[in-house]
Amino acid sequence: MIITVTCNPALDRSLTVPQFSADAVNRATGSRLDPGGKGVNVSKVLNAIGAESIATGFLGGSAGSAIASALDTLGIRHDFVRVAGETRTNLKIYDPVRTTYTDINEPGDPVSAEDIAKLEEKLLALAKPGDLVLFAGSAPKGLAENTTARWAKTLKKRGVLVAADQDGGQLNAVLSAKPFLIKPNDNELKELLALPDTELTTLSQAALQLVRSGIAHVAISLGERGALFADEQGVLYAEGVRVNAVSTVGAGDALTAALLYAAQQNFTREETLKLAVATATAKVTCPGSSPPSMEMIQRYRDQVIVTAFQ
Q: Which residues are catalytic?
A: 253
Which H/E stretch holds residue 217? Answer: strand 217-221
Residue 300 one-letter amino acid = Y
Strands 10-16 and 88-95: parallel
**Torsion sign across C-alpha atoms 280, 281, 287, 293:** negative
Q: What are phi and psi of 80, to 5 degrees?
A: -90, 155
Residue 196 one-letter amino acid = P
Calculate ∠ Cα 215-55-238, nearest 5°. Answer: 45
Dist. CA 310–CA 304, nearest whole Å? 19
Strands 132-136 and 53-60: unpaired
Residue 229 one-letter amino acid = F
Dist. CA 278–CA 268, nearest whole Å? 15
